[in-house]
Chains A and B, each alone.
Chain A
Amino acid sequence: MRKADSNVRVAVTGVGIICSIGRNKDEVWRSIRESRAGIAKLTRFPGETFPTDMAAEVAGELQLPISRREAKRMSRTDLLAVIAANEAIDQANECSPLRLERAVVSTGTSTGGLLEGEDYYFRRVVRGRDRAPASRVLQQPTSGPSDAVARVFRVGGGVISNATACASAGAAIGMAVDFLRSRHADVAICGGSDALCRLTYSGFNVLQAVDPAPCAPFSAERKGITLGEGAAYLVVERWDDAVARGATILAEIAGYGASCDAHHPTAPHDEGRGAEAAMRVALDGGDVDYINAHGTGTLLNDSAETKAIVAAVGSATPVSSSKSYFGHTLGASGAVEAAITVMSLIHQLAPPTLRLDVAASDCTLDYIAHTPRPMAMNSALSNTFGFGGANVSLLFRRVV
């Protein structure tokens, strides 16, 4: 087997994103600059009652780059993925066309087509309609978003889906980096997608992990997450290939680390031992100027992540959680926040944690709060952790 050559530099040449604060990267970045969150009362499931009612939904009808006929067989998670991938590929294609026949799609998702699976379940089992259309659950497998993106853009190099809970998209991007470095692929369309669904909305409530108010990561007042939805993709290529085809390089993926707490099925390790290990591997002895934290807003995560950051890089590095803008997009979060991290490096502006009035006593870092902080950043980490103690940390470097 060819070894992934760590000397091979990996370039980001396209970014696409859709979440509650914007339908593309310009809208998203405007919201970030203006400190405008996208969290409101849940509207997706009228008639159903949950203990809390905040959500970060992608509002309105989706603007699709494909025909309605093609869209009909796709889940909402698939459609969000196609929208974000379309934006990323368009940007990467601006100079000269990507060789999509040698590209892989690598997607992280936690729920896939679960929303449509629930609809099918309600119709067939609850209301007893035997002829509920099975075609609606075709995309129930979490391979849906990858298959949809690959189909729409005629990607010929391969397809892989990562269902590693909330760490899925971080893992999907990390895998893509190694596929490029080992030359098992020449281009990767890597990211994540997840739509809100009843099961996760209910499930996090049952775990008492949801804040009844919009989430306030790292705050003394924090009570949990706000559930969100969205998708983001990065187009990544080997640096030399990107230069050769005249692409604008937006950032470099300089490293990634993946680990497991091996501690608990849902809770993070108290000291964040796996998170620390993932950051250390991503940094490989180097330093970092800004950390886009996993920062979910739960009591356990924010405390453990703070300890992990202190252990891995010390207390001086500025940290924030962009989940305070668009909630926890679950399996997509690693990609959505990777896209935010890339934009932070491009604009030399670190997004804040909104609603962070007073940091909790167990949150002891330099948290950027309320408004974005202009700062010189050569590198930034994006952390993504999930159920099962899976951790991924991605290191991005600015292009100068």
Chain B
Amino acid sequence: MSRIAISGIGIIAPDAIGLDAFRALLASGRTAGSPALVRDFKARDFINPMKMRRMNNLSRFGVAAAKLALADAGIDPGRNTGVALGTAFGPVQTSVEYMREYVEKGAALAPPQLFAESVANAPGSHIAIESDFRGFNVTITQRESSALAAAMYAAAQVVKGSVDAALIGGVEEASEMTLSVLERLGALSRTAARPFDAKRDGMSFGEGGAVLLLQPRAPKSYAFISGFGMARDTTASISDWGDDHGAIVTAMRAAIDDAEIALSDIDAIYASANGSVRGDAVEGRAIEELFGDRIPPVVATKGIFGEYAAGGALQLVAATLAVDEQSLHASAGFESGTFRFTPNREHHACKLRHVLVNSVSAGGGVVCAVLSKEAA
């Protein structure tokens, strides 16, 4: 059995630049808005202006979050460090800007700089260049599960020993194109996301960047990653949630087995719920089935910072901080529901040995992780 230390965290989130501000946002239990946008980020505080000009917004989120994570850890993990980021939509805005120039100036005269940044892995590659990280460098785009799937790969590589350390996390930005498509598909709430609430009517879009440093062991660690499980709901269409909660049960159980713990060792669930009617329903039923009459506290954080925030990585960070602080966050947006559990409503101290983190994607993909307080 191996557990991997989370030894540094960097955050560029809606209403929260830096870890302390993010802790405060979570503790406040208030929503960061819908869409939840990063407003007070000054890239030049983190990145040399000459280099900054070559980076799109996502790359700036990623590079700044990585610098914060490394500074937070207070160590240089060395060259043999891998990078695995998640992003659901990636550089849609950059592609739109490129196409605008393409239309205005012609296919031969669009700016090469925009093309270079139109690949989803640009943020990960800038992070590697900034710090000379020569391990694997991958970018995962699996909708709501992007950051957790990237974390799964990276943690496995640290366990395998193919790298000495890894940076994980994700980046996301709200572009007019993405928001307009989601809005027209009816995916967005008319007001604010209300995860697990009976009157929920869609998600809020969140943006931002988050990077976490993973090491086999570290002098300081917030929590340990101890297991992963994945599955897919075969009833899901290519772009919506399905209604077979069995796949989520399978993935949760697989993560718990991978962590070599028992179901009863799970002290809280950081749910995937984002306020979508179908997604929350299928996850809620899965939690009810797996945990029966002993459902641990459930926390739904996406009412605070929205879905997709940092490619899904803000949810992972919230769960990590819960383990670190031994306290549960409040679920913003919930009033009353129809499930057998009520999402945790007050921020309060709680003994947390192991926390389950769920991500359930439109399209049916499920990735679950277990975070633990102790190294073994």
Which A positions have Cβ atoms within 8 angstroms of B? 1-4, 6, 48-51, 73-74, 78, 101, 104-105, 110, 112, 114, 117-118, 121-122, 125-126, 134, 137-144, 146-148, 150-151, 154-165, 171, 175, 178, 182, 184-185, 198-199, 201-207, 258-266, 273-274, 277, 281, 386-390
Contacts and interface: CB of A to CB of B under 8 A. Distances in A.
A110 to B, nearest CB: 7
Prevailing SS type, chain A contact patch: mixed
Given A178-B160, A202-B108, A206-B115, A141 B126 contact: no
Contact of B116 (A78, A163, A265): A265
A138 B258 contact: no
A157 B95 contact: no
B105 to A, nearest CB: 10
27 contacts: A112-B141, A121-B177, A134-B180, A134-B185, A141-B90, A142-B141, A146-B142, A147-B143, A151-B236, A151-B237, A158-B232, A158-B366, A158-B367, A160-B365, A162-B141, A164-B121, A165-B121, A175-B138, A198-B107, A199-B98, A202-B115, A203-B112, A205-B107, A206-B112, A259-B134, A387-B122, A389-B128
A274 B133 CA distance: 11
B363 interface: yes
A182 B160 CA distance: 10
B48 interface: no
Given A2-B258, A262-B133, A161 B125 contact: no
Interface in B109-164: 109-112, 115-122, 124-126, 128-129, 131-143, 149, 152-153, 155-157, 159-160, 162
Given A147-B363, A203-B112, A390 B125 contact: yes
B273 to A, nearest CB: 20
Interface stretch (B27-35, B188-196, B223-231, B337-345): B223-231
Given A146-B142, A202-B107, A203-B98, A139 B238 contact: yes
B333 to A, nearest CB: 25
B107 A266 contact: no
Contacts of A150: 232, 363-365
Contact of B365 (A139, A147, A164): A147
A154 B228 CA distance: 22
B174 to A, nearest CB: 15
Contact of B230 (A146, A161, A184, A204): A184
A206 B255 CA distance: 46
B346 to A, nearest CB: 33
Interface in B60-107: 79, 82-83, 87-90, 92, 95-96, 98-100, 102-103, 106-107
Contacts, number: 273
Contact of B108 (A117, A141, A206): A206
Nearest to B224: A1
B1 to A, nearest CB: 7
A258 B143 CA distance: 24
A171 B120 CA distance: 14
A163 B230 contact: no
Contacts of B106: 49
Contacts of A199: 95, 98-99, 102, 115, 118
A49 B108 CA distance: 8
Prevailing SS type, chain B contact patch: mixed
A126 B104 CA distance: 10
Nearest to B59: A265
Contact of B4 (A1, A125, A154): A1
A260 B116 contact: no
B184 interface: yes
A178 B154 CA distance: 11
B125 A260 contact: yes
Contacts of B258: 1-2, 184
A4 B160 contact: yes
A163 B139 contact: yes
Nearest to A262: B128
- Pick the most buried of B1, B234, B247: most chain A CB atoms within 10 A of its CB: B234
B153 A260 contact: no
Contacts of A273: 134
B96 to A, nearest CB: 7
Interface in B1-30: 1-4
B160 A3 contact: yes
A155 B231 CA distance: 9
B153 A163 contact: no
Contacts of B220: none
A150 B177 CA distance: 26
Contact of A159 (B90, B112, B142, B153): B142
B142 A387 contact: no
A1 B1 contact: yes
B142 A388 contact: no
